[in-house]
Amino acid sequence: MLAAALAAGVLVVSPLMGAAPAAAAAASEITLSTAEVAPGANLTVDFVTDRPSTKNWVAIYPASKPEPCDACGMAWAYAPGASGSVQLPAKDRSGNPLPAGDYRVEYLYNDGYTRVSEPVAFTVAEAPYEGPAVDPTKPIGLSVVQLNLWGKTSDATMLTEIGADLIFVEEAQSGAAAIARDLGFDYHSTGGSAGVISRYPIVDAGVVSVPGTQGGWMKAIVQVGDTQIAAYGGHLEYRYYATYLPRGYAGDVLAAGFPTEWRGWNKLSAPVTDVPQILAANEASGRPAAATALTADMATERAAGRLTMMGADMNEPSTLDWTEATADLYDHNGVVAPWQTTSILRDGGLVDAYRAVYPDPVTHPGFTWPADTPNVSVSQLAWAPEADERDRIDYIFFAPDERLTLESTRIVGPKGDIVRGARALPVSDEEIFTPQTLWTSDHKGLQAEFVVCGDACQAAAEPGDLVVGTPSITGTAKVGATVTAQPGEWTAGTGFAYQWLLDGAAIEGATSATFSIPASLAGHSLSVRVSGSLDGYAPAQAASAAVTIGADEPVAETATIVPGSQTVVAGGSLRVSGSGFAAGAQLRLELHSTPVNLGTVTATAAGEFATTVRIPASVSAGVHTLVVVLPDGTQVRAAVTVTAAQEAASDGLAQTGGELPFAAVWIALAALGLGGALLARRRLRQQ
């Protein structure tokens, strides 16, 4: 119709009318200011032509429309004259920014659809995803979720309820992009089964292509604060499902060399319990090779300073789950299987996030498939309807790093499972979080809570160094004594804890600043360890020098002493005599409790002595102890009362006792015995 109108000389005034394109004129062309533009940004179009018209025009078309057409163009503008420039916004006709993708600019003639020149292609780039603002000097929470979508694309509400930050999805196809769009997250997917969705920006992405996966490992470099995480999402080969063999079902083992009965998913004539055969079928899946490729790539990323983690539906149980403890559970039929894929990941330095928190497969089996999915018939969920086919085949693994802390894990999804073709309650009380949003997958998911503390966070949290003092022990280290720990000079404000040590080993319960020494420790080495702590500083410890614990002081077995009087005036003199000592022994006389030296005396050949001592005027009134110390430290004691000087008798006697004949000593001794004042021998403590 347009061609007829042109032939009749009719002017076509609307660029929305259709027409067949004509060959471009060689002397006309357009050029673009850039080959890539941001959504909604202006694109400068320079044009030149030998077919000028006031109604020549330029328009944006999607690359999917190979020819200019009515109602399929985007923004447009007139380009009058033989040359010039026009601005085209990267928008649709309603003024909305164009989505990322491939487009072209057409230069068309006189309000029609005849090309003035060849079109020029350009790209609308993805708007840079910025993600949430975070403070890299603070720890950053990272909630990681792994979930097989089962081909669904409407799980954004449920994932919001769970509280996910980094999501590994399988059986996703277009679901990864759709869920990321609904969440407002970044994502990486090639449109295959696996994908990575992230609240934090994905700054680089790629694929680790390897057999045994459904489309390879989706690899996304995720920026969390100042830390990059190489995150890998995967969906491993679902055939060669060797975990069915011990349960008496084929696992679609297709490779040559295996029984034809193992092909498909039918019930077998009998369970297969030959572990080498089971593992050979599992090896043929390619899943172990996929794990080897993953650990190699992760090692490269760790060497580059990145954290590494993965989430995957691996279609294979864990070597940590098929153990002696579970051999007779869940239709394992006595099989203990070191499943290769998880073994390779473990040997490659990765940690199973669920088993790191719940190591016991009996109390916490962690089943993720098949789930008791509501509103779905059991026939769609059970693949081995006469067996207990429950297994943990969905995982989050990570490489340990001081910047990454695992805080908790839990199963998410329905609480029940499918067992022998029927819905069943869980076998344990392990934590399973069931969202209020309708669950749509035949798998349960896994959620792990991490904390990321990168370089800036580590530096901000780096404690200072305490000034550490030199501890010491005060008091006499002897049996029966109490000694005190002195911490020494530390940073002001430091708090202390104490641990007393016997021969270098901790004494149970001895954690106070003082320690009373029991008799059993005599002769051993005693020291104290002081621990100091203060906010903002690294804790520190220091130990005192060791001291040797002295024994109880010996007591003379036969020696006795007799004061000349039971009382004496402070400042006065007292006659003291004794017997039973070694001949010629050098004896030291003291007044206790606070030792006051009263002088020395030498025992006679008969082991006796008699001497007069002066009591210092400064001695306080009261009961005191007269002590004679032998050369070996043995002590002989007798009580004596000191009275104040003003209490002296009016006859002015300033001292008691005098020179007595030796026989009088024995008379006095007998009198003391009769009066109950004979010296009682006892073992005394060292001062």
CA atoms within 13 A on the CB side of 448: 28
Distance of CA 243 to the CA centre of its chain: 32
* Mean pLDDT estimate for the chain: 87
C-alpha span between 477 and 547 (Å, rounded):
7
The confidence score (pLDDT) of residue 556 equals 52
Residue 596 in contact with residue 616, Cβ under 8 Å? yes
Q: Per the omega criterion (within 30 degrees of 0), is the bond before 370 cis?
A: yes
C-alpha to C-alpha distance for 421 and 380, rounded to whole angstroms? 10
Check residue 653 and give its pLDDT: 34
Q: Residues 376-383: what's their mean pLDDT?
A: 93
Of 25-29, 354-358, 676-680, give the lowest mean pLDDT range: 676-680
How many Cβ atoms sit within 10 Å of the Cβ of residue 29?
Answer: 16
Closest CA to 151 of 335, 380, 325, 437: 380
pLDDT greater than 60 at residue 684:
no
| DSSP E strand stretches across 17-82 | 29-32, 36-37, 42-48, 57-62, 76-78
169: tokens are 């999805």
Q: Where are the domains of the chain?
A: 12-124, 140-237+286-370+390-416+432-455, 465-548, 560-674
Do residues 420 and 387 lie in contact, with contact meaning Cβ atoms separated by under 8 Å?
Answer: yes
pLDDT level of residue 553 (50, 70, 90 thresholds): low
For residues 431 and 462, give the distance between their C-alpha atoms in angstroms, rounded to a whole number: 35
Say what the pLDDT of residue 661 is: 43
Model pLDDT for residues 326-336, shown as the tens digit of each residue:
999 999 999 99
pLDDT of residue 17: 37
Beta strand extents in 434-552 (DSSP E only): 445-452, 464-465, 472-474, 482-486, 495-502, 505-506, 514-516, 525-533, 537-538, 540-543, 547-548
Q: pLDDT class for 295, splitting at 50, 70, 90?
A: very high
Share of the chain above pLDDT 90, in %: 70
Name the band, by pLDDT with cuts 50, 70 and 90, for residue 70: confident
- Domain pair 12-124 / 465-548, same fold: yes
Q: pLDDT band for position 605 (50/70/90)?
A: confident
pLDDT given for residue 552 in this prediction: 64
Contact 233/310 with Cβ under 8 angstroms? yes
Is the distance from CB of 61 to CB of 79 less than 8 angstroms?
Answer: no
- Average pLDDT on 257-263 reads 96
Quickly count: other Cβ atoms within 10 Å of residue 235's Cβ. Answer: 25
57 falls in which pLDDT band (50, 70, 90)? Answer: very high
CATH superfamily of 140-237+286-370+390-416+432-455: Endonuclease/exonuclease/phosphatase (3.60.10.10)
Average pLDDT over residues 359-375: 95
> Tell me, which fold does domain 560-674 have in CATH?
Immunoglobulin-like (2.60.40)
Choice between 3 and 445, residue whose per-residue pLDDT is larger = 445
Structure token pair of residue 10: 């009719």
pLDDT for position 105: 95
Query: What is each CA distance from 306 to 71, 170, 303, 462, in whole angstroms?
Result: 49, 24, 7, 20
What is the CATH architecture assignment of 12-124?
A: Sandwich (2.60)
How far apart are alpha carbons 165 and 318 in whole angstroms?
26
The 10s digit of each residue's pLDDT in 186-245 is: 999 988 899 999 999 999 999 999 998 998 999 999 999 999 999 999 999 999 999 999
Q: Which residues contact 232 (CB under 8 A, 6 or more apart)?
A: 196, 208, 217, 218, 219, 220, 294, 297, 298, 308, 309, 310, 311, 312
User: Which H or E run contains 176?
Assistant: helix 175-183
Q: Classify domain 465-548 by CATH architecture.
A: Sandwich (2.60)
Query: Would you say residue 503 has pLDDT above 70?
Result: yes
pLDDT band with cut points at 50, 70 and 90 for residue 649: very low
- Residue 252: pLDDT above 80? yes
Q: What torsion do the CA atoms of 398, 402, 403, 405 make, to the nearest 10 degrees?
A: 60
Residue bearing the bigger pLDDT, 659 or 425:
425
More confident position, 493 or 668: 493
Q: Assess whether pLDDT exceeds 90 at residue 685.
A: no
